[in-house]
Amino acid sequence: MCSRYCESIHQVTGPRVYFRSRMRNVEDLQSCAVFARDRINPYLFNYALSVALLHRKDTHDLDLPTIIEVFPDKYVDSKVFSQIREEATVVPEGMRMPIVIPKDYTASDLDEEHRLWYFREDIGVNLHHWHWHLVYPFDASNRAIVDKDRR
């Protein structure tokens, strides 16, 4: 499991995150990203590049894709993707229906831990949590990045 609080992961990611943010210009950043993309874990790459883009003066106003747009398979069951493909390719545009994913799709009320479903399965809560860690990275060596007025 890749966790931001694991010491070995922290040692590996810290330099990468801020190495990218210290590139002289966007072209250097892009070159570094292209080089690293196939050489490191895709989730780590996404995190490191997103943090760098959010905290650079010349890229902070870019609209970054959310993590669910980049890794939808981490948030939606694979069985749903066949329904999505069918709606997108077979059904004419004016006749498409929304695909409803039931609240209890991945658990049962018989499971005691299911009481926390709202946190584990709520995509909005998870996206907010992910974004929080992009804005306030755990391994920020430059305290100015995380010392922000949150009011």
Task: Using 70 as the pLDDT threshold, list the residues of the chain that sit under it.
Answer: 1-22, 103-107, 117-120, 140-151
**CA separation, residue 119 to residues 19, 70, 90, 103 (Å):** 33, 20, 34, 12
Token pair in block for residue 74? 């981490």
Q: Where are the alpha helices (DSSP H) in 1-151?
A: 7-21, 26-37, 42-55, 67-70, 78-89, 117-121, 123-135, 143-146
Asked if residue 146 lies in contact with residue 140, where contact means CB atoms within 8 angstroms, the answer is yes
**CA separation, residue 57 to residues 107, 120, 125, 140 (Å):** 43, 34, 28, 16
Closest CA to 81 of 66, 93, 71, 67: 71
Query: Which amino acid appears at position 11 of this protein?
Result: Q
Q: What's the pLDDT tens digit per position in 95-122? A: 988 888 776 666 677 777 777 766 667 7
Domain membership of residue 72 (yes or no) is yes
Query: What is residue 110's predicted lDDT score, i.e. its pLDDT?
Result: 76
Helices 42-55 and 26-37 meet at what angle, rounded to 10?
A: 170
Q: How many domains does the chain have?
A: 1
Domain membership of residue 2 (yes or no) is no
Domain membership of residue 126 (yes or no) is yes
* Structural domain boundaries, residue 85: 7-146
